[in-house]
Structure 1
């Protein structure tokens, strides 16, 4: 039997503790709702910003993680730079990374993208349709032409990210904006998927289609089982003859 993937769901876990509206939607935390959607797909562990001085992301935890899921919003600046560098190293070594919603402004995503990752936004309880623009992509497996969410926060273009390797979803919002909502990137040996929906005051992470996308993304982002490449000065594989 193939071993289940090991997934760590990281969440600030600040909104749920200080905002009753958010707590009423996600009483166990946003991370718990995301992890619940992975039942049967992966062995799930959880980490939060205030869990310990390493934000729950110790060297040993990351070494055991195949895919890291990241949700953050109000406390991006509280994430220690040394932890960001630690996560970055693991991504470059092959760990998958799924960045959700307002994680676009997280230190780890901005570091890996090398751009501001800024965008337009609005909270107006408006409808969102996430259109599948790459129907053959494994992250879109099991999804129809679109996902419709009755209420979400609007994100609008221009989204200041590098050109995605692949674009899987494009959102349309009731107010008229569009947004690149499902983007893949490769950095080093690692695969990254950014997925837009998931504002903390809406029950988005209970939506079965959203959960399907995240499950698919975990499988897609899983590390390739191979040795990490060697770099630096290298001895020749063949004997090099004398050259006049």
Structure 2
């Protein structure tokens, strides 16, 4: 059974009654609930817990970390980001959701600003599947349509994705690379765009299915990391030093 940790800064839920009404147990609670229903062992961690809930023990026992943040990216301690980065390099999967594009951990792993255009206008989003043979879209049709979402628009300042899974179209005319995979060290990273806090996006069964599929895809490969640094030769080097 995979061990999943769902991390959420948990600030909108404390400040905005609309968000509390949509996610009474927090965004993290909603995501953990549908992951548990699909057979995963899912726990949660939040910003205001000691070490942001990401202690050495929690990270060591996490196969895939799901990350949602927005208001408080700057409050995440750099030493915790470094620990999460190292766990990804060692093989832990990372699923970054919506405004997590600006999180310290995502920007650290991407090495770019991860900036984009945005607009809140209650507009329709259509997420087109552009990699229909990918396991992340198993059980998904040609597109997912959301009645209302926040717009994210290109240019999205990220490295070229290893794989592009979704491209979104918005009612106002913009498009966006909404599902992107990366490999970092031994780990896998998936960025998935939808999930603005004032919309019930994470109650949508198709969005849930994508996250469930992504967690399965991102699970660690059972192998040690390569050994780096100065290496002794495997064979005799004739005439060498």
TM-score greater than 0.5 by the shorter chain: yes
Match of 2:158 in 1: 161
Distance verdict in 2 for CA 1:134–1:23, change over 3 Å: same
In structure 1, what is the Cα distance between the partners aligned to 2:72 and 2:39? 30
Q: Map of 1:8-27 to 2, 5 A cutoff? A: 8-27=5-24
Q: Map of 1:44-59 to 2, 5 A cutoff? A: 44-52=42-50, 54-59=51-56
In structure 2, what is the Cα distance between the partners aligned to 1:226 and 1:79? 30
Alpha-carbon offset, residue 242 of structure 1: 4.0
Alpha-carbon offset, residue 154 of structure 1: 0.4
In structure 1, what is the Cα distance between the partners aligned to 2:91 and 2:3? 13
Match of 2:181 in 1: 184
Q: 1:135 aligns with which of 121, 132, 135?
A: 132
Give the length in aligned residue pairs.
Answer: 240
Match of 2:120 in 1: 123
Which 5+ residue runs of structure 1 have no aligned equivalent?
none
In structure 2, what is the Cα distance between the partners aligned to 1:103 and 1:243? 51
Flag as ranges the 4+ runs of structure 1 deviating above 6 A.
none
Distance verdict in 2 for CA 1:236–1:207, change over 3 Å: same
TM-score, reference length from structure 2:
0.97
Q: 1:209 aligns with which of 206, 209, 223?
A: 206
Match of 1:65 in 2: 62
In structure 2, what is the Cα distance between the partners aligned to 1:228 and 1:126? 44
TM-score, reference length from structure 1:
0.96
Q: 1:229 aligns with which of 214, 223, 226?
A: 226
More helix by share: 2
Alpha-carbon offset, residue 243 of structure 1: 5.1
Report the RMSD for the aligned CA atoms in angstroms: 1.1
